[in-house]
Amino acid sequence: MGTFFIIASLVLLAVILLQIGKITEIAGKLRGEEDMQMRSNAFHARLGVVFMVGFLVFTIVSFMYYKNSMLGYGPHTAASEHGVWIDNIFNVTMVVTGIVFFITHILLFWFAYKYRERTGHQATFYPHNNALEMIWMGIPAVVMTFLVIGGLSVWNRTMSDIPDGMKVGEDYIEIEATGLQWQWILRHPGDDGVLGERYYKNITGLNPLGQLWEDERNLDDIHPSELVLPVGTPVRVRIIARDVLHNFYLPHFRVKMDAVPGLPTYFVFTPTTTTEEYRQRLRDYPEWQQPDANDETKQRWETFEYELACAELCGRGHFSMKRIVRIVEPEEYVAWLAEQKSYYSTTIKGTEEDTAKGVLSEAGM
Amino acid sequence: MASIDIIREEELHDGHDEHHHHDDHHDDHHGDKYQSNFITTYIFSTDHKMIAKQFLITGMFWAIIGALMSLVFRLQLGFPEENMAWLKPILGKWITVTDGVGTLDPEFYYALVTMHGTILVFFVLTAGLSGTFSNLLIPLQIGARDMASGFLNMLSYWFFFLAGAVMFASLFLSTGPFAGGWTAYPPLSALPQAMSGSGAGMTLWSVSLVFFVVSVLLGGMNYITTVLNLRTKGMTMWRLPLTIWAFLVTAILGLLSFPVLVSAIFLLIFDRSMGTSFFLSEIFIQGQALENVGGSPILYQHLFWFLGHPEVYIIIVPAFGIVSEVMSVHARKPIFGYKAMVLSILAIAILAFIVWAHHMFMSGVNPFIANIFVLFTLIIAVPSAVKVFNWIATLWGGNIRFNTAMLFSIGFVSLFISGGLTGIFLGNSAIDIQLHDTYFVVAHFHIVMGIAAFFGMYAGVYHWFPRMYGRFMNETLGKIHFWGTIIGAYAIFWPMHYMGMAGVPRRYYRFDNFEAFSHFTAMNQFITVAAIIVFSLQVLMVINFFYSIFYGKKQTELNPYNANTLEWTVPIGAGHGNWPGAIPHVHRWAYDYSKGGRNIHQTEPLSPGEQDMGNDHH
């Protein structure tokens, strides 16, 4: 770090020294000011064109270089149904804005060069042209209309809740993610497919979600350490915050929603690619064929996992709220679910906090 | 009589004989009874020209502080494993040294990010930009001796100073400055249990911003009143230079939106210290369930962004005005489509008030409302496109002088295009699902309102430096500053788009916890190095600035750029009251450049049968 600072200081010093030289140079030439001015104009006008060409080339080259980070390309394709729609509208927007970016930059620096000040040259008095202005107001308006319509149709499809008539636990899965400083607690509904009630004042060290054990639906709820979901089934995630704002963020699935204390939110999505399929997809890319940092015997694609992150600043541990997400075949999911023990049975049952006894006997369990 | 330089009644009773008498026989001297000694001239000055310099230099101070903070957190992001022990003498306990290796405390990392945002948005790009140039140019370009109220104008600066002093003090708290992001979302900002910076740090942050809003409101009222009431004879609204239109609209935006921020801050203060529940509900923190129920954190976000979105236009609109003016002067051409430029500023300003929730697409608001906010947000692209094409058309057919001010104006247009286009992605809520709170957003707003606004400010500083100090800044240093900054700024922020597309979230202390976010080590190092180089170039600019105040090339001609506006009719080094004699009258719009082969100053009467572009309607 010390060397780094020294390098930075040297750069600064060099620039200053260079300039002191230039100042004296200019002072010497003050007499021929107009000539100097014209030369300077020509120089900087050309430099503008060089900059423009360099910038546009750099844009293209860096696009190619980072194409695997782009939405919808190669290893960065979405793993959810609506994610593909988002990637598409993203790419349409990229093409449209890319064209505008190139045209306007070429015109900007080309005109600046072409109309640089020269001795004996005069500027044109051309204050306005209504027809021209209508054209360049109209074109963006039309293009924006299409982008708005396209974007909103994706948005409204993506954000719509589970349709009426679909049954929880059968047609879709409802799970819950609770953000707290600084981790996610996940909850699966267990066999009954339904999440039990909770109340924040019931939260204790043993009962981190404040589940009401009088509510039978809580008794089979699972607190898994990984978010495991079957491929192809819609998932409705209830998103809850226990202390401050968090954000339930699944980058590979294009899922993002704030967790708000006192205001449960949700996101519905359908995973379309299992973890294994995604790994197979990554296998073709050289950057994924590197040895894994934690396990030298494997390549990176072999150890790839989907991830859950937090995307809303929530305090000093914000950057570390990770959970592994595994998308599996439906049979695998059933098997996994069968292995899981309910949080009640492993942690609560028989403790002082166990308020479920009465309910259980009444229900004849 | 000798001492009455700036009695406003002169203007208000413009036809009155006796007052005209005063006006015409104005004594040519520096200072008056209001500016008679050092303190009243340089500290508690009521002269708008001096207040402009105070805003500018205070803004520069804050820019350096804010930029240094960004360098520290860039070092963390680029070189997280490096030893930071060398920073311990400055940062003290926020560097923990274990086995000789110094580590930046994550909480202080967030404090740096938060302070960088707050300082740059409010103190530098609001006060330093609009405060400086509204003060300098409004009276000079409309033909007024000073602001409508010189006293309130002075207060405006000193409330800004007070806000800065309070914020500066918060940096030295043992619990640290506020660290919950410049947007200060509750509950994080409301609960000291949630973050140590949310204790005294947040209290001082709130107090500082309330003082700051007082400053903005005092300034804004003055700017609006002055533009509407103190224009010289003949200066109709359609003859105003675009700078003045921009400052007027900026002031109106500030006046209507900043009070809403104060209301949000007051409610937050109530929640913090009086047990109310405006923003708090069902919170369990630090082993304790709070009693607050029924509040909504999203309410705060609505209030905040009702200021926050207009705020970004408060930052960029003055730059629109400055760039339009500078470009027209140095291209030697009228600004293309003057009225379209005015109307597009007005359209952007109106839209500014009905797009705030596009910052909140993923915050848990009803997804339906995104339909409205996406529509209005993307409509902003239309007036913005008109401005860009009109700037390009202004260059067409010009006779362009490539001085530093002009280079920064051209650079501004490039940045405004690059950063504006990425706004089309983010404003579209569907795409925002993936890009929200990623580095794509960081790249977008830094280019379009951070760097671009800085370029507008630099264009203004280089262009009007002789108007402020009677000398020129060094052009060679200026041009190096320009080329280095535009290349360096793109080098910093362009790569961030790729990180954002890959999904890397902003406000992460380090990226290596996640496989998905950890691919960009080399890029982060590159960005950090670029940031250090760009910072050193800004230091060069500051050196050039202060050096030139004392040793710069002297301004010898009254109107060095052969410009048409009134500020260049004021004598070099004029004292309070600006014009020693009568205020000149105006007969035409500000942009008769190269008309019939010559530049016609605003003060020159129309020749018989000549059409004034400022008054006819096509």
Can you count the helices (H) and strands (E) in chain B?
Answer: 20, 6
* Opening angle at CA B542, ends B540 and B543, nearest 5: 65
Domain count, chain B: 1
Q: What is the DSSP track for A234-277?
A: -EEEEEEESSS-EEEEEGGGTEEEEEBTTB-EEEEE-B-S-HHH
Q: Given a cut of 90, is residue A15 above it in pLDDT?
A: no
Spatial contact of B531 and A11, defined as CB atoms under 8 Å apart:
no
pLDDT at B362: 95
Numbers of helices and strands, H then E, in chain A? 9, 9
CB contact under 8 A, A19 and B540: yes
What is the distance between the alpha carbons of residues B219 and B125, in angstroms, rounded to a whole number?
15
Note whether residue B605 is domain-resident.
no
The confidence score (pLDDT) of residue B6 equals 43
B86 closest CB neighbour out of A2, A41, A245: A2
Yes or no, beta carbons of B83 and A151 under 8 Å apart: no
Contacts of B536 in chain A (CB under 8 A): 8, 11-12, 15
Instruction: Give residue A23's pLDDT.
Output: 65
Tell me the pLDDT tens digit for each residue of B176-195.
999 999 999 999 999 999 99
Chain A residues touching residue B428 (CB < 8 angstroms): 89, 93, 147-148, 151, 155
Residue pair A135/B411 in contact (Cβ under 8 Å)? The answer is: no
Say yes or no: A268 contacts chain B, CB-CB below 8 A.
no
Q: Please check whether residue B593 lies inside any domain of the structure.
A: no
Residue B185 lies inside a defined structural domain of this protein: yes
- State residue B414's pLDDT score: 97
What band does B49 get if pLDDT is binned at 50, 70 and 90? very high
* Residues B360-379, mean pLDDT to the nearest whole number: 95
Taking the CA of residue A363 and the nearest CA in chain B, the distance in Å comes to 31
CB-CB contact of A244 with A180 (8 Å): no
Nearest to B392 among A107, A121, A256 (CB): A107
What pLDDT band is residue A357 in, cutting at 50, 70 and 90?
Answer: low
Whether residue B10 has pLDDT greater than 80: no
pLDDT (mean) for B374-394 = 96
* Residues from chain A contacting residue B610 (CB–CB below 8 Å): none
For A329, other C-beta atoms within 10 Å of its C-beta total 14
Q: CA of B585, closest CA in chain A: separation in Å?
A: 23
As a whole number, the mean pLDDT across chain B is: 91
Within 334-353 of A, beta carbons closer than 8 Å to B belong to none
- Encoding tokens for residue B312? 């970004």
Per-residue pLDDT of B257-313, as tens digits, reads 999 999 999 999 999 999 999 999 999 999 999 999 999 999 999 999 999 999 999
Q: Does A44 touch chain B (CB under 8 A)?
A: yes
Q: What is the CATH number of the domain that holds B466?
A: 1.20.210.10
Q: Does A168 touch chain B (CB under 8 A)?
A: no
Q: Please compute the mean of the pLDDT values over residues A262-266 and round it to a whole number.
A: 95
Which pLDDT does position B5 carry in this prediction? 42
Note the pLDDT tens digit of each residue in A140-165. 999 999 999 999 999 999 999 999 99
Q: Is residue B514 part of a domain?
A: yes
Structure tokens at B306: 């009702």
- A contacts of B429 (beta carbons < 8 Å): 151-152, 155
Does A40 contact chain B (CB < 8 Å)? yes
The reply to whether residue A1 touches residue B431, judged by beta carbons under 8 angstroms, is: no
Out of B110, B293, B413, closest to residue A108 by CB: B413
Decide if A21 touches B, using CB distance below 8 A.
no
pLDDT at B106: 94
Is B402 within 8 Å of A40 when comparing Cβ atoms? yes
A121 CB within 8 Å of a chain B CB: yes
- Give the domain extent around B346: 9-281+291-569
CB contacts < 8 A, A to B, total: 388
CATH annotation of A173-362:
2.60.40.420
> Which of A29 and A315 is assigned the larger pLDDT?
A315
Q: Does A57 touch chain B (CB under 8 A)?
A: no
- List the structure tokens of B593: 């450049």
Grade residue B37 by pLDDT with cuts at 50, 70 and 90: confident
Reduced to 3 states, what is the DSSP secondary structure of residue A198?
strand
Instruction: Tell me the C-alpha distance between B289 and B307, whole Å.
Output: 32
**Does residue B42 sit within a domain?**
yes
Give the pLDDT confidence score for residue A365 in this predicted structure: 44
Cβ A287–B370 below 8 Å, yes or no?
A: no
pLDDT tens sequence across A43-61: 999 999 999 999 999 999 9
pLDDT in tens, B100-120: 899 999 999 999 999 999 999
B596 falls in which pLDDT band (50, 70, 90)? confident
Say if B579 falls within a structural domain: no
Nearest chain A alpha carbon to B499: A69
Q: Which of B116, B279, B400, B613 to mutate to test the interface with A (most CBs of A within 10 A)?
A: B400
The C-alpha of A258 sits at a distance from chain B's nearest C-alpha, in angstroms, of 5
Q: Is the pLDDT of residue A9 over 90?
A: no
What is the percent of chain A where pLDDT is above 70? 92
Mind telling me how many Å the CA of A365 is from chain B's nearest CA? 33
Answer yes or no: do A200 and B487 touch at CB < 8 A.
no
Contact B410 A109 (CB under 8 A): yes
B27: pLDDT strictly greater than 50: no
**Measuring CA to CA, how many Å separate A136 from each of B389, B393, B415, B616?**
7, 11, 19, 23
In the 8-state DSSP scheme, what is residue A348?
Answer: I
* Residue A92 with chain B: CB contacts under 8 Å: none
Q: Is A90 an interface residue toward B (CB < 8 Å)? A: yes
Higher pLDDT, B54 or A353: B54
Contact B364 A263 (CB under 8 A): yes
Contact B410 A37 (CB under 8 A): no
B chain contacts of residue A307, beta-carbon cutoff 8 Å: 514-516
Asked if residue B337 belongs to a domain, the reply is yes
How far apart CA B327 and CA B391 sit, in angstroms, is 8
Give the 3-state DSSP-derived string for B33-88, with helices as H, strands as E and coil as C.
CCCCCHHHHHHCCCCHHHHHHHHHHHHHHHHHHHHHHHHHHHHHHHCCCCCCHHHH
- Interface contact B396-A116, CB threshold 8 A: no
Q: How far is CA A133 from CA A139, B31, B194, B381, B594, in A?
A: 10, 48, 53, 14, 22
Tokens of A211: 């589940």
At residue A303 the predicted structure's pLDDT band, cuts being 50, 70 and 90, is very high
Assess whether pLDDT exceeds 90 at residue A70: no
Rounded Cα distance, A211 and A355, in Å: 11
Min Cα distance B293 → chain A (Å) is 7
* B336/A128 CB distance under 8 A: yes
Q: Which amino acid is at A223?
A: H
Question: Domain for residue B134, yes or no?
Answer: yes
**What is the average per-residue pLDDT within B320-336?**
96
d(CA B342, nearest CA chain A) in Å: 13
